[in-house]
Structure 1
């Protein structure tokens, strides 16, 4: 029914190896044979454990690790730039970057504009609210102020429940702000991806927050996003992804299996 986005908050994960060099999406192919030698991905690095910044300002997290593992298997350099959620979408379209790597849920609507790899992670939405809240289900949010990350599946779910024009939906550029709004009482709950919410609660046991599951939320699948029609890059990513599925590297990185 609903598909989710992905949010980010600082968490202690192992840094993924990234090669930093100025390169636009159109420069991912070498000038001679057209072979892809480097992939530049965009992300929104406030969504731990999938992407966040380490103390040196490098993008790290599960997506960075997965992309680096694909690059290693395929003999391709990889770089991830923290460009922001909406900017990531537009820069993939314009070719400023080659792909999006930001815990992006594969949806029918997005498939109209972009191409996606095979799924690499299975997720579902959760509700996060204060421990003393009387909210127990998704339906309880019908007339409540709810914070979300803009243009994500959490945002879509809130609109499905309250209506697209609802003034009770507070949409922000990243999920960390949405979560802060719950902490400071500006919203009564937030909707986001399960891994992100659970990671935050685990690393902030005194936050006073709790997570709520609801059967209304369907399972979602994350994929890497490329410009529509970029078959060469899509095939390379899918081949590398299949290799790290087969050799167990993907499960080692994410801690979970996916078909």
Structure 2
């Protein structure tokens, strides 16, 4: 009788252990999604980011925000990516890709010379470069740039355009590393005009409202396309970005983000 009871007790213990293992497995399966919607095993990627490039990417209350930021986060949710943002100077973006410091570069315009050294994902925004001056500036046309100093962001296409305008109209192109510094330089009279992307300028004028200190001269200087860039040959990551971008455009998330930052 005693042996029989012990045998039954042993079997019962084994059964309880087996059930515990099964329950643990079920629990694991039900908790493989985190609070932010990312599943366990998300692919980690690093993104170079400007912290002063509104409304595309900038810092507000200590956190990176902006149109590009929100688009990247929406793509990440769709493709199960986990993003680490690395704040860098713009002229370090492409070298950062080439040296594997980052996996993705934001805030880049597609250029033929850049295509030779990085791979671009699909276009997510179209814009153009504009010439900006102080509200009371005597500059009202490109011809008025004769002998004037045009400031732009070092290492960017804005500086290329500033140099082109300076050469054409007999002025001087001046590089600065910080986007905010461009406005300050013009406001303080150290430079006469600046060149920037239209979304950034439009956002600045909108935020300034009645206290606006700047104005755009003439029409867009260029027609530009924005796209995220990766190291040359990283086709897998390009495919993930394109897949996520396509999804958020189809499900309406992209339009919501665009409306939030641009109002249309």
**TM-score, structure 2 as length reference:** 0.77
- Give 1:88's match in structure 2, choosing from 90, 93, 114: 93
Cα RMSD, aligned residues only: 2.2
Partner SS for 1:156: helix
Alignment equivalent of 1:191, drawn from 189, 192, 195? 195
Contact 2:148 2:171 (8 Å CA) reproduced: no
In the aligned structure 2, how far is the partner of 1:51 from the partner of 1:76? 19
Tell me the equivalent position of 2:47: 41
Which is greater in Rg? 2
The answer on whether the counterparts of 1:147 and 1:179 sit within 8 Å (CA) in structure 2 is no
- Return the structure number with greater helix share: 2
Shift of 1:225: 0.8
Q: Does 1:118 align with 2:119?
A: no
Which residue number in structure 1 is paired with residue 178 of structure 2?
Answer: 174
Contact 2:150 2:166 in 1 (8 A): no
SS of 2:148's partner is: coil
Write the mapping of 1:190-229 to structure 2, written as runs, cut at 5 A.
Answer: 190-205=194-209, 206-214=211-219, 217-229=221-233
How many angstroms apart in 2 are the aligned matches of 1:251 and 1:241?
11
SS in structure 2 at match of 1:91: helix
Partner of 1:53 in structure 2? 59
Whether 1:153 aligns to 2:121 is: no
Q: Secondary structure at the match of 1:211?
A: strand
Quick one: distance in 2 between partners of 1:245 and 1:213? 32
CA distance in 2, matches of 1:247, 1:132: 45
Counterpart check, 1:105 vs 2:129: no
Q: Partner of 1:204: helix, strand, or coil?
A: helix
Contact 1:125 1:192 in 2 (8 A): yes
Stretches of structure 1 that go unaligned for 5 or more consecutive residues are 1-18, 20-29, 31-35
Shift of 1:167: 7.5
Which residue does the alignment assign to 1:131? 135
Aligned residue among 65, 68, 77 for 1:72 = 77
5+ residue gaps, structure 2, are 1-35
